[in-house]
Amino acid sequence: MNYPKFSILMCTYNGSEFLTEQLDSIYNQNSQDWVLYVSDDGSTDETINILNSYKSIWGEKLTIFNGPQSGFCQNYLSLCARVSPQTDYFVWSDQDDIWLPNKLSRALELMDPLGQTTPVLYCAQTILVDRHNQQYGLSPQLYSHLTGFRNSLIQCSGGANTMVFNRSALNLIRTGYQSKLPSHDWWAYQIVSGAGGQVIYDNTPTLRYRQHGKNLVGTFTGLKPKIQRVRYIFGKNYKIDIDQNINALVLNESLLTEDNKKILHDYIRVHNSKNPLTRVKYLKRSKIYRQNFVEQMSLYLFAFFNLL
* Residue range 116-173, pLDDT digits in tens: 999 999 999 999 999 999 999 999 887 777 889 999 999 998 999 999 999 999 999 9
Examine the fold and report which residue of 210, 236, 269 is the final residue of a domain before the chain moves on: 210
d(CA 268, CA 5): 39
pLDDT at 184: 98
Instruction: Flag whether 63 is in a domain.
Output: yes
CA distances in angstroms from 95 to 22, 58, 92, 155, 253, listed in the order given: 6, 17, 10, 24, 33
d(CA 122, CA 127): 17
Indicate whether 165 and 275 sit together in one domain.
Answer: no
Indicate whether 31 and 141 sit together in one domain.
Answer: yes
Indicate whether 186 and 294 sit together in one domain.
Answer: no
Indicate whether 205 and 263 sit together in one domain.
Answer: no
Amino acid type, 202 = D
Indicate whether 130 and 257 sit together in one domain.
Answer: no
pLDDT at 298: 86
Indicate whether 253 and 114 sit together in one domain.
Answer: no
Q: What is the CA radius of gyration of the chain?
A: 19
- The CATH number given to whatever domain includes residue 68 is 3.90.550.10
Structurally, the chain folds into a number of domains equal to 2
Q: Return all residues near 239 (Cβ < 8 A) that are at least 6 apart.
A: 271, 306, 307, 308
pTM of this structure: 0.92
Instruction: Flag whether 296 is in a domain.
Output: yes
Indicate whether 122 and 185 sit together in one domain.
Answer: yes
Instruction: Flag whether 1 is in a domain.
Output: no
Indicate whether 227 and 206 sit together in one domain.
Answer: no
**For residue 282, what are the domain limits?**
223-304
pLDDT at 215: 47
Q: What angle do CA 232, 303, 156 make, to 5 degrees?
A: 50
State which residues of the chain have pLDDT below 50: 215
d(CA 186, CA 152): 7
Instruction: Flag whether 215 is in a domain.
Output: no
Indicate whether 275 and 159 sit together in one domain.
Answer: no
pLDDT at 296: 82
Amino acid type, 31 = S
Indicate whether 249 and 130 sit together in one domain.
Answer: no
Indicate whether 146 and 67 sit together in one domain.
Answer: yes
Beta bridge partners of 127: 138, 208
